[in-house]
Structure 1
Amino acid sequence: MKKPGFTTATLHSDRSKPIEHGATHKPIHNSAAFCYADANELVKVFQGEKAGFVYGRQGSPTSAALEDKITRMEDGLATISFSSGMAAISTTLFALLRAGDHMVASSFLFGNTTSLFETFAQFGIEVTFVDPTEAANVEAALKPNTRVVFVETIANPRTQVADLAGIGAVCQARNVLYVVDNTITTPFLFQPKRVCASLVINSLTKYIGGHGNALGGAVTDTGLFDWSTYPNIYDHYKKGETKTWGVVQIRKKGLRDAGATLGPEAAHHLAIGAETLALRMQRTCSNAQRLAEFLAAHPKVKRVYYPGLSDHPQYERAKSLFCGNSGILSFELIDGIDCIAALGKLEIVISSTNLGDNRTLAIPVAPTIYFEMGAERRASLGIAESLIRISTGIEDIEDLIADFTAALAD
């Protein structure tokens, strides 16, 4: 039988391993502890000689089933789930970095990720922020002690598209760990493994879960990085095949020690939501394209940022990399129009800070998610005071366009 397609493989992922009582979904295992027939078996599980579960803080059968699903989606080696996307980023990097290390990161990162990386300096980890739309900027920032390059596929909220393939080639040539946040594109639209990513981050809260009813995050090891060359692997994790060293250290020094564990109920919600990812993303991308085109032609809109528009600086790159441009777009209103007042007139679109929900969400960027940066820093990042970010949902597009038409009419 040929390899199943994306949705088929996702739908039937749980059935690749035995499921209790013939259920079609992996059930919710709420137990915090797991018992074994004898102490020797427990010791083997603790020491990694045998597969199994020892304590809920390090995962459960329910989260493990979700991890298997994400690994298949990303065509990876293994996945570790966390309580949120930020937990996935912070625990992964703290498990792999040490004082004196250097990291290169996109200057267009999600605000909370930028805030986290700025905090790294307090722990002796230097971070250099660069424009990732040109791989040369990343290469120029590399140092002998650079351990990680971290970028997002499509930036939030201005939608810049990183030179993902070019950066991957640089990291490969310099043997630097390449971490790509795939949240905005999802593994349906793009698999970072194709551009030689070492690790892939996904905020499962967003499109993969899709319903705005559970928090979660994940890191997937693509299997491409040679961990035997990475200087920060602790000796007691250098067991078995070298390709597993990284994911074992992240699970032990990251998930176990930090305790940012994904609960079984949330894992179950996210696993069910993931089954319809492809269907939802197709509708979301279609709606976002139509809405972006409508707003671009509107007389009260100054500019629209969406990779699916031909005037986007990385339009051709997005077209070559992704099989859709996701559902995130942003736009600026012309001078004299209050963006908060305009959003207040929307009836279908919801004022909310989340992304990737089935419902369309909108937020004024400057006074909310980028407020702490201050006006000067916002201006340096091209964040206009009137910028509105839209996370397009799966509503009927005619209704969304009618809603924006009415809100911008006065």
Structure 2
Amino acid sequence: MAYSHSLLQLTTWLRLLGVPPIKYIRSIQTSTPMATRRERRSKLKRKRKLYLKEKEVPIAPEPRKGFLKFYHDRYRLLLFIPFLILLLALAQIGVQYATTGDFLNKGVSLKGGLTLTVPIDAPVDVHATERFLQNRFPSNDLRLRAISEFGRQVALIIEASSDVESDDAIRALEQGVIAALRERVAFDDYSVEVIGPSLGASFFSQTLKAVFIAFLLMGLVVFLYFGENFKAKMAATVLTLIASFSIFGAHTFAAFLALGVLAVILALLYVFFSPPSAAVILAAMSDIIVTLAIVNLLGIRIGTAGIAAFLMLIGYSVDTDILLSVRVLKRTGGGVFSRIVSAMKTGVTMSVTSISAALVGFLVSQSETIRQIMLIVLIGLIVDLIFTWLQNAGIIRLWAERRHLE
């Protein structure tokens, strides 16, 4: 009622002064509430900014003692450790290729030959029997291992490589190995699996191409997530798809040279437009290379199951690297080093859990295929701890310091 009475008085005075009141009153009724709402919105925005600023986690103080103090102060020095390990691994693979013609120890499934499975009832001296057979067949790279159940030998597996495609030659090798084995071991039945050299080479070529394609696609996904330049993302996508489809048709030196050029261009895109993406990809690649070098040093003959283990290892190694990068780059507050430590607690827990599972699988399983997969994954997960938390974390800290993200 008071508001209506005041409005009536104002209208009367405006009429006496000769001012048209309707337009003026409408402007009062419409513009004043709008201005009030704008002021309220601006006040709410200011309050929200102040609230968020108060809630922001303060930068954690630098650690003063223990491992974290050393890790905080000497991270540049610690960066030399993974790079030195990587150089030694590359040297081992180079020596392996120079001496044997292959950068890994191929099993029968990748090289060609025969695999004999012989059930036994009495225990056998595996090492003495293996040396005996190797002396009989020095040119066939023969290996012998035992299968045990609950600590008791139940079968022998003999692998003998062969470069001959002839069925008669493979049959002669089979009969010769069986006859020689009967001189040392008593058995009745056996089973044989034969893989020709050309088929083994085809298996190796296809699985190796699958590993390269998986690595290319992994790198693209990481770059699309962490990269910021749209044009660089599109260029990387096109180049990755071209390289992936071209790998299966590459059979000549010129084709492989073109693929190498594409790989170099992709690497340059990752380094210049998203250094954190390049750090993740470098850590995963280093994990694969060092694991391969360790497997070579242990004398493990890799079959198709081993290649599958390396495919699995690509995913395992990228998990912790992406966790670290997301925690450091996509979150705010607490400082870069505090976010690295937070990511390390989660990532090391994940890795230890996976290592425990792989170790149990290696110790409990009686299947040689599963044991080889578990052993390669186990080695790769241990190596990944070094390259994630020393190499990748150190590179991200250097990049963050240059970007003043502390």
TM-score bracket, normalised by the shorter chain, equals under 0.3
TM-score, with length taken from structure 2: 0.24
Q: What TM-score do the two structures reach when normalised by structure 1?
A: 0.24
Higher helix share: 2
